[in-house]
Amino acid sequence: MSLKTVLILLGLALATIFALVCVLLTRERTPRSCQHLPPEQEDTEDGQSLVFADLTAEEMSQVVLYLQGHLGVPLVEASRAKPSENCIAWVDLQVPAKAEVLRFLDGGGARPPREALAVLYFGQQAEPNITEYVVGPLPRPAYHRDVTVQKYGGKVPYHRRAVTGSEYAEINAVIHRELRKAPRFLTACCESDGTDLVTLTTAPRGFKSGDRVTWFVLFHNVAGTGYYLSPVGLEVLVDHGDLHVSRWQLRKVFYNGRYFAGTGDLEQEFVAGTLEVVRLKQPQAGAVLGSMKPRRLPGPPGPLQFEPQGPRYSVRNNHITFQGWSIAFGMNPNTGPRLFDIRYRGERIVYELSLQEALALYGSNCPGGMSTRYLDGSFGIGRFAYELVRGLDCPYTATYVDRHYLAEADTPKTNQNSLCIFEHDSALPLRRHFSDSQSFYYGGLRKTTLVIRSISTLINYDYVWDFMFHASGAVEVRVHATGYISSSFFHGRGTDYGNRVGPHTLGTMHLHHIHYKVDLDVDGQLNSVETQDMEYEFVKDPWSTQSTIERPYLRRERLQREDEAAFPLHVPMPRYLSFVSPNPNKWEHPRSYRIQIISFPGKHLPTNSSMERSVSWSRLQNEFLREALALPGRDIFPRGQNAFWKMLGVPAGCHPEEGGGAHQHQHLQPERPLDTHCGLC
């Protein structure tokens, strides 16, 4: 290599290091209040957003101490509690009732008392059950009330509790104890003694209410890689419903297309020579399918985002302001990100925008895969939103925020830097025009967006949750699914249920359904749903009446009943759907927000399924009058491909940001010229 080449490479390296240092030196404010905002964008909400703020670590600890001293029953820390004992499952903010909050925010009423919701598992009772308590006031609790019957209409049976970490540990002990009954089989099939095999849970845990039996799929485990792609063909059905762990047992064993009563039977058939064994080598770290180590040296660094005068948004406690936007943010340990009191230019648009549930439904010719319907909220979408990697998960220039949670422990835990906030340049003009007729000019406006992001790792999948606020007044929700596929052992007619991605690995087909709650308050709470569709009418041309014109016209309809606003999957939706206010704009059109649902709808679980009622929200493309949007999607992920769904709310009459064509219709005109940012038009 010549000296000139070395000097050039050295110069590039120094320039890159200098740029990174400059970027990192500007990020010493986490969170921070921006000092360069114009006066109309300053944060003047005076702490009102704290009514929605997540519990602090100290508040969580105080709730635990209160419960330990006032319930009159022994409580064991959930991380070591047996099913036959009592424990605190989790603690979260008890969000005050909407009417109470609005009286405080808008009517000058008293601030609602700050309270926590605590969920407890009572296994050491005559009738084991799950109980929910509201505890308050914080930060020093003095009362608690049982809200279980009020919320659910009766006591919640104990078998409905989520599986805790300690229960998984006991299940693994049962499985590995049973594996010791088949030593020669394990050596032949997997080059293993069973101790280096890992298990993957499935869900739900049975077919009828009261069941607590779970299929567990076994995989080769190689440190530092995704074991999800290395199934060994062995799956076991564990009955873990009894309160006493000593009574848990294997109900069935599955191997390479066949079912056995237990691992002892499997061993007997292997010794007798009547079992067909697929002999797998121990995977090597460098060659395993699930390795994320790069296969070649990385190229030169890519472009970096830069804020020449610092951030144009402000973060104070749980409150964000950005170019007219005002947002309160938080994180539910079970359901994930939640936003409240979303305003644009001082007007509330959305009272609540929150993730509610994520369903993944699988198909396979193996029992674990064919029975899996993960409801990720039961694992903890917010709880498993871990630290974000600066410069990869979010830009270097983002603001990173810690999140606290209390689940399966008596002390709170912190996921550092697990939520990020940043302004994103879309590298696309929001609007532009180059005039070459009559007069010559150019006008344009950059399209920038504020992004609130967290990423949840739920077993094999990493879900990137984005809430995006556009300078035009549009709100967008988007989710990317990445990580690893979930796989089954390839045998028989496996390709009827997915694609072969390895010598013995089947990438199983599956559906994703994502459920969001969207409580829209467009110019007040008295909103209606309006549909607009295009039709053609045949008319004689009025200037000569000699010819016929197919003239498009707009057909509007104000929906009167809830079932009219419920659109089943695969049924064509109206071209435009709007949440409208009774108040008109200056052109006498109702002030409104358009709802756009952009997704890839899959096939809903058959309604005669015993599980369908638990995911009935995914029957519909939307549930507008209930103010909850179900965003369904389907994918069979090839390696390295992501899928996304998004909901885009556009102020009706504003220049659209994606798709659609609202600007083509005369009646959809903004109150202000289009070269200014448009809000509630």
DSSP track, 160-176:
GSPPPHHHHHHHHHHHH
Could you tell me whether strands 528-540 and 548-558 are parallel, antiparallel, or unpaired per DSSP bridges? antiparallel
Cα–Cα distance measured from residue 619 to residue 603, given in angstroms and rounded to the nearest whole number: 9
Cα–Cα distance measured from residue 662 to residue 653, given in angstroms and rounded to the nearest whole number: 7
Active-site amino acid positions: 376, 461
Cα–Cα distance measured from residue 338 to residue 54, given in angstroms and rounded to the nearest whole number: 10
CA atoms within 13 A on the CB side of 9: 8
What's the start-to-end Cα distance of the chain, in Å? Answer: 63
CA atoms within 13 A on the CB side of 131: 19
439's CB contacts (< 8 A; 6+ apart) are none
- Nearest 10 degrees: CA dihedral of 143, 149, 151, 153? -170
Q: Is 149 in a helix, a strand, or coil? A: helix
CB–CB of 79/88 below 8 Å? no
The b/e string for 577-598 (b: 16+ C-beta within 10 A; e otherwise) is bbbbbeeebeeebbbbbbbbbe
Q: Is 443 in a helix, a strand, or coil? A: strand
- Give the ranges where 330-417 is alpha helix by DSSP (H): 367-370
CA atoms within 13 A on the CB side of 563: 0
280's CB contacts (< 8 A; 6+ apart) are 189, 190, 191, 220, 232, 233, 504
Phi and psi based region of residue 44 (left: phi greater than 0; alpha: psi -120 to 50; beta: remaining): alpha
Give Cα separations from 443 to 434, 470, 472, 617 (angstroms).
7, 19, 16, 45
